[in-house]
Amino acid sequence: MLAYPKKHRERKNIISVIRNSGNFKEFLKGNILPKYGTEQKNQNYYPCCRCKALLSKKYLSRHKKKCCVKNISEQSNTTNESAQSQTLIACSLDQNNVIHKLRVKEEVFSRMKADEISLVAKTDYLISMFGENYLKKHKREQIISVCSNKMRELARLLLEIRKISSNPNFNLQDVLIPKLFDLTIEASKRLGGYDVEKRTFTCPSLSAHLGTSLKQVCELFIRLVLKEDICIKVENKEQTIKETKRFKELIESQWTTEISSLAFKNLTEKRWAKPVILPLTSDIKKFKDYVTQEADKAIINLKENPNNKKIFRILVEASLILTILFNRRQIRDVQYTMLKTYTEQSQFTSNQNQKECENALSETEKLLTKHYKRLVTGGKGSRSIAILLPVKLQEYIEFFINIRTNIPIVPSDNQYLFGCPGTTKWPRGDVIIRKFAEKAGLENPNQFSSNKLRKQIATVMQILNLTSDELEQFSQFMGHTEKTHNEYYKLPQDIYQTAKVSKLLLLMEKGVHKYIGKSLREIDIDPEEEFAEEDSDTEMQMDTKLKMDTKLKMDTIPETKDINAVIPKNSSAKNESTDRKKKALEGRTPCNEDQIKIVKQHFKKHIQNKTAPKKQECVDLYEKYPTILYNKDWVRIKTFVYNCYRQK
């Protein structure tokens, strides 16, 4: 500093950094001395991660351009200033300088949202070590966001415990004792939005799986105590381990009773109470046509100008969506596919085995194997996932790979097949699906997602009569087990379920002895037959009642020999009504030879199979021969057929 003359710019900058460092130390003690004075109260201040000046959160990103300390290795546009500021606070509060060396600090801290929850997660040593331990079990880059979410969940739980206990100094390791188990249960219920009166959760899954995270924290804490970690301060090591084990035992024995049982019941009720609206087939076709058109337009434009990053991104996104749509894959199974997986896919089976399998296929299936390229990539839990690419989709992928090879439009360190131009990242499939669905003009764009597309194909598969082997192969291709396919993806559609179950219930009423050895698909039951028989029985009962009423009324009419005698008007009306009913009864005549011949010939198969004709079939016959069947209605025709096969 003294090497520079007075009022020199560099000398002022050095003095400013020294002043900021002193103010930052006071800030860690709770005394706030901001760089710029302000009249606003209760404002959050964040230290600059370079010069340590205390600034408001809104001004922090603008200060980056004016900061007197420049970090040459820092990327100019990708840093989150607020997140880096919180990381600086966490590292400064760590007197043993352990957090600074952690992998979670380098990979996760900068991705976390800068708020009170993230600050608690970064400053609590046990939560930070939980994130570090979680990263050790996984190797994929995309697991960073999952790790961040789990750390924030524990931080939210700790904040809720502090709020209930009115103790702002609680750390997570202080909670792992049996006498605070009830406090932990109450805090977990509050996080899940538990309603005491209705006994329901707003977010049941959060409260349920917090128990699993706490068990992992207990195991981690015991390991750190046994290793005598320098950041874990305990008075009695054996007593601490004993209490932590008892706390874990309480979670294992009581968490289900206190939270998980109600939470999962609530989750199940929400699942079946909410109607599942699957994408329409017309929307799927419309969506596919729109994305294909966008890809074709992008290829035409890229042939003229291959350096256009915007058009290149459209082609990559369209190819990604078409791959997800055709294979009905989960987004993560496709968007993380590596470039070398496509270009250097190895053959896992010998040609001899391929020929043996090919001989077992039909001619159509053999033809399909030549028109589709099969990729094997890693899915959830490093499970192998197969992806099929049609010829058209292969052309799209080959085109943008060729551009990537000749033009550095995508950085060389971006190893993803669907890599974004100018970055080392991949496109987010869920965002792209929503974007294309809105632009395609679909009838239900909000119901369009990869998960619902998977449920749609699994539900449609119920219509096909697949064997158990075929269903197993289909489930493996979809990336899950047959049990998962049946429980979570194959939905009981209303129409399908009503048709099958109602047929089964009708069989219980009719008797199942006639259908032994048959499947529900092979059994044909006419529901109109049941209603027609009921109508026929009702009509016969009405005719019998009509005869009895007529006889009764005729007996009650007074006899008279006087022609001029006056008969009451109502008696005359009853007489006329009775006469009409008599005429109607007289119209029930037996079938003549022509009628018998026509009916037997028309319903020959019904008589042989001993099945009653439907109402519409009887009406059609009457309309075909109205002159011959002039005195018959559909019920009498149906009854005649029934009597024909019953007498055999």
Task: Report all structural domains of the chain as residue ranges with CATH numbers, in order of start.
Answer: 117-273 (no CATH), 281-348+362-446 (1.10.443), 581-646 (no CATH)
> pLDDT over 90 for what percent of the chain?
26
Dihedral angle, C-alpha 451, 453, 459, 464, nearest 10 ° = -140
Q: Residue 267 in contact with residue 204, Cβ under 8 Å?
A: yes
pLDDT tier at 110 (50, 70, 90 boundaries)?
Answer: confident
Dihedral angle, C-alpha 107, 113, 119, 121, nearest 10 ° = -60
pLDDT tier at 578 (50, 70, 90 boundaries)?
Answer: very low
Give 559 or 363, the one with higher predicted confidence: 363
| Pair type for strands 54-56 and 373-378 | unpaired
Q: Residue 453 in contact with residue 294, Cβ under 8 Å?
A: no
- pTM metric for this prediction: 0.66
Q: Which residue has the tokens 């206190």?
A: 258
Output the CA–CA distances (angstroms, integers) from residue 142 to 335, 397, 425, 563, in the order listed: 11, 23, 10, 109
Q: Residue 341 in contact with residue 377, Cβ under 8 Å?
A: yes
Over residues 1-32, the pLDDT tens digits come to: 566 677 677 777 787 888 888 888 888 887 77
pLDDT tier at 284 (50, 70, 90 boundaries)?
Answer: confident
| Average pLDDT taken over every residue of the chain | 77
pLDDT tier at 349 (50, 70, 90 boundaries)?
Answer: very low
Distance between CA atoms of 243 and 77, rounded to whole angstroms? 48
pLDDT at 497: 55
Vertex 622: Cα angle to 621 and 627 (nearest 5):
125
Least confident of 80-84, 103-107, 126-130, 547-551: 547-551
Q: Residue 427 in contact with residue 439, Cβ under 8 Å?
A: no
Least confident of 219-223, 253-257, 440-444, 612-616: 440-444
Q: Which of 153, 149, 171 is nearest to 162 (CA)?
A: 171
pLDDT at 223: 95
Burial grade of 179 (CB within 10 A; 0-12, 13-18, 19 or more): exposed
pLDDT tier at 456 (50, 70, 90 boundaries)?
Answer: low
pLDDT at 551: 44
pLDDT tier at 133 (50, 70, 90 boundaries)?
Answer: very high
Question: What is the separation of C-alpha 583 from the centre of its chain, rounded to a whole number of angstroms?
Answer: 68
Residue type at position 217: V
Distance between CA atoms of 438 and 71, rounded to whole angstroms? 42
Distance between CA atoms of 384 and 380, rounded to whole angstroms? 8
pLDDT at 474: 60
Q: Residue range 259-278: average pLDDT?
A: 81
Distance between CA atoms of 109 and 99, rounded to whole angstroms? 11
Distance between CA atoms of 169 and 150, rounded to whole angstroms? 21
Enclosing H/E stretch for 137: none
Q: Phi and psi for 264 in degrees, rounded to 5?
A: -70, -35
Distance between CA atoms of 224 and 217, rounded to whole angstroms? 10
Vertex 97: Cα angle to 95 and 99 (nearest 5):
115
Q: Residue range 341-354: average pLDDT?
A: 59
Burial grade of 69 (CB within 10 A; 0-12, 13-18, 19 or more): middle
Distance between CA atoms of 415 and 424, rounded to whole angstroms? 8
Q: Phi and psi for 170 in degrees, rounded to 5?
A: -65, 135
Output the CA–CA distances (angstroms, integers) from residue 331 to 382, 406, 431, 433, 604, in the order listed: 15, 28, 11, 10, 57
pLDDT tier at 499 (50, 70, 90 boundaries)?
Answer: low
Q: Which residue has the tokens 């804490």?
A: 221
Output the CA–CA distances (angstroms, integers) from residue 177 to 56, 60, 151, 172, 184, in the order listed: 39, 40, 20, 10, 10
- pLDDT(362) > 60: yes
**Over the Cα atoms of the chain, what is R_g?**
40
Q: Residue range 148-171: average pLDDT?
A: 94
Sign (positive or negative) of CA dihedral 301, 302, 306, 310: positive
Q: Which residue has the tokens 């329901």?
A: 200
Sign (positive or negative) of CA dihedral 612, 616, 620, 623: positive
pLDDT at 532: 44
Least confident of 309-323, 370-384, 491-505, 626-640: 491-505
Output the CA–CA distances (angstroms, integers) from residue 219 to 8, 90, 121, 180, 423, in the order listed: 57, 24, 18, 17, 39
Give 591 or 517, the one with higher predicted confidence: 591
Q: Residue range 505-526: average pLDDT?
A: 57
Distance between CA atoms of 321 and 411, rounded to whole angstroms? 22
> pLDDT over 70 for what percent of the chain?
70
pLDDT at 635: 86
Q: DSSP letters of 387-431?
A: EEE-HHHHHHHHHHHHHHHHSTTS-TT--BTTPPTTSSS---HHH
